[in-house]
Structure 1
Amino acid sequence: MKITPLDIQQMQFRTSLRGYSKREVDHFLEDLAQTVEGLTRENQALRDKLAATEEQLAVLKKSESTLSHALVTAQAFTDDLKQAAQRDAELIMKEAELKAAELVREAQAELAGTQREILDLRKQRLMAIERLRSTLRSFERMVEIEMGDEAHADQAEKLIGG
């Protein structure tokens, strides 16, 4: 049976001839009622505080779960970003290597073309020099012939005029 402070306050004892002092019993019951009432209030306050604490605990556990999930999600996102950045870096490196190889091929092709042009120009120079020499020789022969004709003409004049 549950006894409340009100039950204690309203409790009536039978009195007998040699029984307890009514005043002392009433005074004791009053003190007891106040003590039980205080304990009941304290008990209720503790129950309320426990309920509030359990609510806070539930909220904190939910927050912890949410934060844990957010942390896992953030870590996964970070890992994805790292992998994407790694892939992008590798792609950029491959593109740079291909571009560098293409530039080297183009430079080598241009060098080979320039070397061919230089050889062609050297051949043309040699051919031009040879043509000039040939032309000079032709002129030299023509001059010699002219000189020879003049010498013959002078001799012929000397013979005729002479």
Structure 2
Amino acid sequence: MPLTPLDIHNKEFGRRLRGYNEDEVNEFLDQVIKDFEIYLRENKDLQNQVASLQERLDHFANIEETLSKTIIVAQEAADEVRSNAKKEAQLIIKEAEKNADRIINESLVKSRKISLETEELKKQATIYRTRFRTLVEAQMEMLGTDQWDTLDPKEENA
């Protein structure tokens, strides 16, 4: 068990002949008691300070651990967002490619339809020109005959 200032104060020494000067010993013991009390108080204060610092250290260690976990969670969330963004971008690209293919196919169908309609119109224009030419030629032929010189209907029937 550690020595206390009270133990020092209550310590009695046996007397002998030619012993130490009792007043000097008591004075020295009083000084030792004062110094010992100072050291005990300082020791107690230092223990309290160490406990307080240890508590703060534990607090900061908890904060550090929490921050580390938060950083890891944030990194994982960022990775997940990045991954989701990539997937969404790929889906958008696939959808755009499908739409592009659909638009191209519709355009090709329309182009073929217009081409067929154009060919049909060319055929109809050729037929019209041929009929019109035949009509004009027939009319020109009529104009070139002598029947116009005589207006007798009897001759026409003959």
- The separation in 2 between residues aligned to 1:7 and 1:149, in whole angstroms, is 167
Q: Which residue of 1 aligns with 2:90?
A: 90
Q: Secondary structure at the match of 2:86?
A: helix
Q: Which residue of 1 aligns with 2:72?
A: 72
Alignment of 1:70-149 (within 5 A): 70-145=70-145, 147-148=146-147
Paired residues in the alignment total: 153
The residue type equivalent to 1:78 in the other structure is A
Q: Which residue of 2 aligns with 1:159?
A: none
- The separation in 2 between residues aligned to 1:121 and 1:137, in whole angstroms, is 24
Q: Which moved more, 1:121-130 or 1:87-96?
A: 121-130
The residue type equivalent to 1:150 in the other structure is D
Across the aligned residues of Structure 1 and Structure 2, the Cα RMSD in angstroms comes to 2.1
Identity score, percent:
31
- The separation in 2 between residues aligned to 1:135 and 1:27, in whole angstroms, is 157
Uncovered stretches (5+) of structure 1, i.e. residues with no partner = 157-162
Q: Which residue of 2 aligns with 1:23?
A: 23
- Asked if 1:150 is matched to 2:149, the reply is yes
The alignment's TM-score, normalised by the length of structure 1, stands at 0.83
The residue type equivalent to 1:130 in the other structure is T
- The separation in 2 between residues aligned to 1:149 and 1:65, in whole angstroms, is 120
- The separation in 1 between residues aligned to 2:151 and 2:62, in whole angstroms, is 131
Q: Which residue of 2 aligns with 1:160?
A: none
- The separation in 1 between residues aligned to 2:39 and 2:151, in whole angstroms, is 163
Uncovered stretches (5+) of structure 2, i.e. residues with no partner = none
